[in-house]
Amino acid sequence: MAAGTRSTGGKRTVAFSRDQANVFFHVLTACNLRCRHCYIDPAQHGDRTLDADTAGRWLQLFAGPGKSPNLVLLGGEPTLHADLSGIVRRARALGYASVTIDTNGYLFHDILDRVDPGEVDFFSFSLDGAGAAVNDAIRGEGCHRRCTDGIRRAVKRGFGVSVIFTVSSINRHELAGMAPLLEDLGVERFFIQVIGLRGASARDAQADRLQVSRDQWLETVPPVAEDIAARGITVSYPKVFLEEGERFACAGRVADNYFVFPNGRVYRCPLCEDFPLHSLEIVDGRLIQRPPINEKDLFNLTIPEGCVMNRLVQPGNLAYLADGRPAWRIACCLLKEEIPPGDVLK
């Protein structure tokens, strides 16, 4: 996503760039799990499974001469797609620079045997607890064992492996325990995400309690990221809170990220995905701009709080001073901090 970085000790803020597009492509919305924080909403994203030919034609819309986008294949659970390997090969033929498959670890249709490490750069596994008790309470019984077994198999086959951990109030205390587990599993990259009030989380009766506070995030995430990076694993996590003097930038305005759903909706901002605010749509095989008002119009608004969509969708991340000014500003959700392997924050 980025060409430029800003460093502080070993930590780097990864800057947005139009030099590299990123396509987050949902080939289906079906899943074998019912995770508590699942962001898929069939009412907004559809329940269609794209056939391989259609998926290939849609992928072509974002590729072409002079374009080498990165591709992340998502669901639902993308390995439920019977011809996911064919979609991977089509993407490579179109010139996609990298291909990642996000998975819950069940690895359906023998996907590890149907692609090779030259075709898939990373399998990215979702784990939300260092142990089964917390992870399975969020994701479903038996998920921790299936996911860690899948990671070991992928590593053994020679694939790059990353893990995604979504931090909420339920599992924040588990994050520190991930360090020895990731090291034991042979994981190369670790992505820490912050829970958002989207999809199932937004509909949860205790949704507000799922979010972590600013103090909890800052007390927990950077120290754990440092520990894990010191073990030789690249760690990245969302900036979330801007520091004093940092300029707000919206990826929807200054970067090329496309979040594609099987009903044809194409968003530029993941926080918009619960709403029919998509700025682009695939209709009859063509990528078209949608009329106002859509997410693109919101990106152009400047507010003291920073991210407009965060202010609208999950204002619980914010606090205000006695004079009405925001106590801090929220960064674009796509702005990341990254710690390369072996680095230690100063």
Span 173-206, pLDDT tens digits: 999 999 999 999 999 999 999 887 655 555 554 5
CATH number at residue 131: 3.20.20.70
Query: If we measure between CA atoms, which residue out of 178, 188, 183, 271 comes closest to residue 221?
Result: 178
Instruction: Give the DSSP letter of residue 158.
Output: T
Could you tell me if residue 77 is inside a domain?
yes
Distance between start and end Cα atoms, the chain: 25
Strands 265-267 and 280-283, by their bridges, are: antiparallel
Q: Name the domain count of the chain.
A: 1
Mean of the per-residue pLDDT values for the chain? 90
Q: How far apart are CA 161 and CA 225, in angstroms?
A: 17
Q: Tell me: pLDDT of 295 over 60.
A: yes
Structural domain of 109: 5-248+331-339
Could you tell me if residue 96 is inside a domain?
yes
Can you give the pLDDT at residue 10?
Answer: 52
Could you tell me if residue 78 is inside a domain?
yes
Could you tell me if residue 326 is inside a domain?
no
Could you tell me if residue 26 is inside a domain?
yes
Q: Tell me: pLDDT of 118 over 90.
A: yes
What are 161's strand-pairing partners?
123
Could you tell me if residue 321 is inside a domain?
no
Q: Which residues contact 11 (CB under 8 A, 6 or more apart)?
A: 222, 337, 338, 339, 343, 345
Q: Which residues contact 139 (CB under 8 A, 6 or more apart)?
A: 33, 35, 36, 104, 126, 128
Q: How far apart are CA 116 and CA 66, in angstroms?
A: 26
Could you tell me if residue 76 is inside a domain?
yes
Could you tell me if residue 38 is inside a domain?
yes
**pLDDT bracket for residue 210 (50, 70, 90):** confident
198 neighbors 277 (Cβ within 8 angstroms): no
256 neighbors 287 (Cβ within 8 angstroms): no
